[in-house]
Structure 1
Amino acid sequence: MSDTLPDSASQNPVVSRVAASLAARSRFDAGAHLRLTVAGRQVGWLPRAHAQILRAQDTVPGVLGEPRDGSVALLPDCGDACARSAALKVLAHWLADAGHVRGWRDELFAVTPALAAPAFAVIERAAARFLGLLTFASHMNGVIAGARALWISRRSAAKAVDPGMWDNLVAGGMPHGSDPLATLVRECDEESGIAPVLAQRAEAHGVIEVLREIPEGVQWEAVYVYDLLLPPDFVPHNRDGEVAEHRRIEPEALLAIMADGAMTVDATLVTLDALNRRGWSAPGIPRP
């Protein structure tokens, strides 16, 4: 998102507040991080403070190579994906036991430079952001047919990440072996009770990259954006306990929520993309 807003943005306090909230929550200092690599390909942005923690532990010796030109290799002495995955499994448990990561998921994320690239390894999802790994997610705007309104959801207070914040109607991380649409269809069913036959009609609208510092480490995520046109009488219902509530909302009220910083950063970007495409956003809000 551009640091410079159009003149119309400065004349609209809601627009200015949305932009300020995003900017405040999207800081990233490349100098405070190392490019984490495997086989010469970047797979993450490792905070330098976390590199020190990894070097101090002896549970997984040689987890990092020597830094060079702002980069550091992950498990340089491991020659294949199985060996790396085994070492990262041990490391993830150590990080959890030492209190460096929380919200254990029993779900594996790929260690990879790109969604289409073969995975160099897999790792417990809870440890991915400690290492600043590139991750992938699917987010969906629930657009109500025939109305100028959307459905959004509030994250459960028990969530390890962004508890209690507003989110897109459906949003979920992409585990190793899945793909954007399959991830979306699964999350539609679990989070909002949307049947697969309806979920598969979702329209893809590209990818938004998120790169920012967070308390857990780094969120470097490729977010696959979808819109789904929902029947006017459809009412979502949560099935997995990860959503506290759903709300039908018009754009003006939704902009106010985003201006207050009450919606997650990635969901805010995905929502702004939908509002802009439909001509529902206030003048001056920049496209993500």
Structure 2
Amino acid sequence: MGLLRHIHRLNAADPSAAHRFVVDGQTMGLIHDAFAAHLAFYTKVFAIDDRQVRFVSGLNSSEARTGALAEVGHDLARRGLIGRLRGEIYPAKNAFHDPAAFYLDRTLVSYLGLRAYGVHVNGFVATPDGPWLWLARRAPDRLVEPDKLDNMVAGGQPAHLSLRDNLIKECAEEADVPESLARAARPVSTVTYHMETTTGHKPDCMFCYDLEVPENFIPRPQDGEVASFALVPARQALEMVRTTDAFKFNVTLVVIDFALRHGLIDPDVDPSFEALAAGLRAGDQPFT
């Protein structure tokens, strides 16, 4: 089956079959044609022509756009055209440190094809035989990828919170990691991809952290998002990514990234080494 299949799967989006969402002169999202047709109903918010979706003249500030989108989101959910609103507010921006062009409910992000950000924490134990990874098993009632394997800690990046503060929050909520230990997590890489789902485009960016934990540390589920944790050799986790579909779709890339950085994939042996390394950033420029 192989490792590259995950990179190919998560970078199979077709921008040609979408409307561009243009804000302040730059493309910020890619919207499925069918959903763009739904947005055309809201003539006081959107102008749609030449396969482009724009805010109407007058919605020129972040505050105005945010208020208008909140009303649109509630109406779309009421009409059953999107999933339920999640009450988590995300910023709309093409680069993490850009100012937000507007804010919106997390549910709307993929429908509008916007870039979303997240933090992923590789909790590992160092041993003489190589690292062992703590893996989470997602709860069976999760909306996305129930029962799949996940990183020890992972979460979307909401508005008005730093990456570090979000990491500490997610560590406590998902795995009962004390703040003193969570603060030892090291930022090590970003992984990007551009995939499509039934709701829309996902040109996402994951900020990856390594957190070496003591041998006697055991993560414990706290908020119901995780059913259980297991400690496995990182080589075994990599082999599971290679030969199974046991992991949540984007976590496969985080495990591959960890394996590359920790020397678990040998470029003298694995002919896909270069393609793997490059593929982990294949979504860097999703709108070009």
TM-score band by shorter chain is: 0.7 to 0.9
* C-alpha distance in 1 between matches for 2:194 and 2:201: 7
How high is the TM-score relative to the length of structure 1? 0.86
The reply on whether 1:189 has 2:175 as its aligned counterpart is no
The aligned residue for residue 132 of structure 2 is: 149
1:62/1:76 contact within 8 Å kept: no
SS of the residue corresponding to residue 126 of structure 1 reads helix
- How much does 1:21 deviate? 4.0
Q: Does 1:270 align with 2:270?
A: no
Partner in structure 1 of residue 284 of structure 2: none
Structure-2 residue corresponding to 1:9: none
Quote the residue 2:286 is aligned against.
none
Does 2:160 match 1:177? yes
Letter in 2 for 1:275: A
Residue ranges of structure 2 left out of the alignment (5+ in a row): 281-288
1:63 to 22, 41, 45: 45
Provide runs of 4+ in structure 1 moved above 3 Å: 74-77
Distance 1:93 1:155 in 2: 28
CA contact (8 A) 1:22 1:265 kept: no
Alignment CA distance shift 1:75-1:186 (3 Å): farther
State the partner residue of 2:118: 137
For 2:140 and 2:85, the matched residues in 1 are separated by 16
Distance 2:56 2:142 in 1: 31
| Structure 1 stretches lacking a partner, 5+ long | 1-15
- Deviation, structure 1 residue 20: 2.2
Distance 2:111 2:47 in 1: 17
Compared CA separation, residues 52 and 242, structure 1 to 2 (3 A): same
| Larger mean Cα displacement after TM superposition, 71-80 or 245-254 | 71-80
Q: 1:75–1:84: 8 Å Cα contact kept in structure 2? A: no
1:120 matched to 2:120: no
Q: Secondary structure at the match of 1:129?
A: helix
**What corresponds to 2:283 in structure 1?**
none
1:101 aligns with 2:86: no
Matches within 5 A, 1:1-288: 16-55=1-40, 57=41, 60-68=42-50, 71-146=52-127, 147-258=130-241, 259-281=243-265, 283-284=269-270, 285=273, 286-287=276-277, 288=280
TM-score of the aligned structures, taking structure 2 as reference length: 0.86
Distance 2:161 2:219 in 1: 24
Residue identity (%): 28
**How many pairs are equivalent?**
269
1:131 alignment partner AA: L
